[in-house]
A and B are shown apart, each in its own frame.
Chain A
Amino acid sequence: MEGFEVSQSETGGVSILCLKGYLDAHTAPDLENAIQRLVDKKTYEIVVNFTDLTYISSAGLGVFMGFIEDVRKNGGDIKLTNMKPKIYRVFDLLGFPTLYDILDEQQTAVDRFSKN
């Protein structure tokens, strides 16, 4: 089975999480820990870049549900970018576009944060 990696960087004061590989129930805790670390540091402006993500299961989406309320309450947001059509389809099917800012480009998401 393919692995999963999450790497963190920063652009213009916004934290970027780049996901790579296979995000399912087994790897979901890795993502959860990565977001938890940001939230613990009171970093609430988060962009998740899906460029290198090849698969996502419902459990992977579940991780975002766990944080969104807390992050928004603190004036931040989790914006999702650069999804392959196959990945976007899963988000779309489960109704995520109504709740989450899903954008084509990482930079657009970063810019949105700085505008606010």
Chain B
Amino acid sequence: MNQDPETKYELQAIFDLSKALNSSLDLKSILDTLLLTLMGKFLISKGLVLVGHQQEKYIIEACKGLPRSFLDSVVHIDDFPLSLTFTADMQPSTIKAFLKKNDILVVVPVRHNSKNLGLIGLGKKSLAGEFSDTELDYLNSLANISATSIQNGLIFRQLDHEKRKSDKSVQELNTLSEIVRELNSTLSKLETNKVVSLLVYSIMGEMMVNRCAVFLAASEGMTLSLNKGIPSDNCSQITGNNQISTELASLKEPILIQDYQDGSTCDAFTAAGIAALIPMKIENENKGVIAIGGKITRQPFSKDELRFLSILGDWSVISIETARLIEQELQKKAMDEEMRIAGEIQRQLLPDSCLTLEGYEVEAVNNPSRQVGGDYFDFIKMSNDEYMFCIADVSGKGTPASLLMANVQASLHALADTGLSLTEITTRINKIIYENTTYDKFITFFVGILNLKKRSFTSVNAGHNPPYLYHADGTFETFDEGGLILGMMPEIIYKSETVKLASGDCIVMFTDGVSEAMNVNEEEYEEHRIEKCIADNFHLSTKDLLKKLLDDVASFSSGCPQADDITALLIKVK
């Protein structure tokens, strides 16, 4: 055994290093230990270790005395030295240039089972002097000793990487299962907003992005559902632009904005800080788009990540679509209920459809449409000799129209026996309606008083379709005198007219549900058809005449849904 103290020291150093190397499985710390040992032993201020990545690509896994930015960068080694080599002796190559530039004087290969694991590079010794043969042997020995540790470190890193990948997949699955859980949650609790917010939060956490918006396809194009980190102004610029909106709606695969061909479209997304778009599809039909900003880490999105986002989007949109359908169904139910109530109110306000008066035949009809319009008719007994008749059409449909109609009915009944003239009554009702409604609510209104004894009819027409006065000889006139429709202006003076009635005369009142009934060609029934129908069937009783008129309207508009209430009122003098 050689007792040379230097040799003894070297053996001790090798033993120490080997112990240190084997005590760690972390590649970085193995390489750091190796490099520091060598640099300390030879008093060298620069060193690095390159570790094989794939084929001829090597990564700088450790470096000392060189810029830290070198770490993790890739160096191309086309001609791997199989034994210790001085940079100066190498054939011209990228690696030679790189080593020379950074004052790396010598490189030692690290090989394990004839596989090139990496390369240790060292700069010149701080003290003058070349490497001695003993030193070079020592260098080789260390490279050999460390090979197994480096190999182990590489395997461990690979395993850790695989474990991480599998854990990441589990995390992705957790996120997906949360979305699915939402889908399966009690349907009544499923809300579009909740699903979208779940989606956006998950994406932001999963991808480390702080900009995310969800656009959903609607009949009028893409609409913004939720935006975080992307200003609403930018989002409306996207949804407001036809071309961009169309492009979103036709997206079938995830796309990175940098890959966009069209400059102006690209600019709009870039301005919003959007880096990628992911379509949300059901059976390959685009139902919405997720827009996300770049990662905070500035790393690009990988193909796997885009695929994950795509799956996440597809799953979410199923929940969103289901929630939307449920909301729609609930809304429809609420609307049906409202219509039922409106219809109920309307029915209760209208009188019976016929009135028995001596010397007269009175017949009325009201067929409410499915949506319940605001038609109204009434007869009010004022005295033994006088009856008030009224027909009106309130703007709008549903409950609001019914309530306004109730208002008119109450006012009319209250004013009917005050002894006020018909024009004064109309003026007052107009004022009441004007004061109690918004500018877009109004009422067409026709009111008349029939004096049974005098056989006279006094009327005021406030913008209603002019009723007819048919004579026995088939000629007719219309009741036009009156004034503006109710509810438009506060102070209106109405005019009235009075006609004498003769035997065989017939007053015909109707609403626009009759004159504007539509056929399949979108033509309206119009007054001339009412006139012809009455002329053709004038000989019939009021009951039958009314039935004929309704049948004629129905056959005219067959195939079309009844859009408005149909109301008519006939008074015939016997």
Contact = CB atoms under 8 A, between A and B. Distances in A.
7 contacts: A28-B197, A28-B201, A59-B201, A66-B204, A93-B164, A94-B206, A99-B297
B178 A57 contact: yes
Given A58-B174, A59-B175, A65 B167 contact: no
Contacts of B200: 62
A25 B210 contact: no
A45 B114 CA distance: 56
A29 interface: yes
A62 B167 contact: no
Given A68-B210, A93-B164, A57 B297 contact: no
Contacts of B296: 65, 68-69, 99
B208 A25 contact: no
A63 B229 CA distance: 11
Given A25-B178, A58-B171, A69-B210, A63 B297 contact: no
Interface in A24-75: 24-26, 28-29, 57-66, 68-69
The 5 closest A-B pairs by CB, nearest first: A61-B205, A62-B204, A62-B205, A62-B201, A59-B201
Contacts, number: 82
A11 B541 CA distance: 93
Interface residues of B, number: 25
A98 interface: yes
B182 interface: yes
Interface residues of A, number: 25
A90 B174 CA distance: 11
Contacts of A89: 167
A63 B200 CA distance: 10
Contact of B228 (A61, A66, A94): A66
A58 B202 contact: yes
A95 interface: yes
Interface string A90-113: 100111101100000000000000
A65 B204 contact: yes
Contacts of A69: 210, 229, 296
Contacts of B168: 93-94
B99 interface: no
Contact of A59 (B164, B202, B208, B297): B202
A72 to B, nearest CB: 10
A57 B172 CA distance: 10
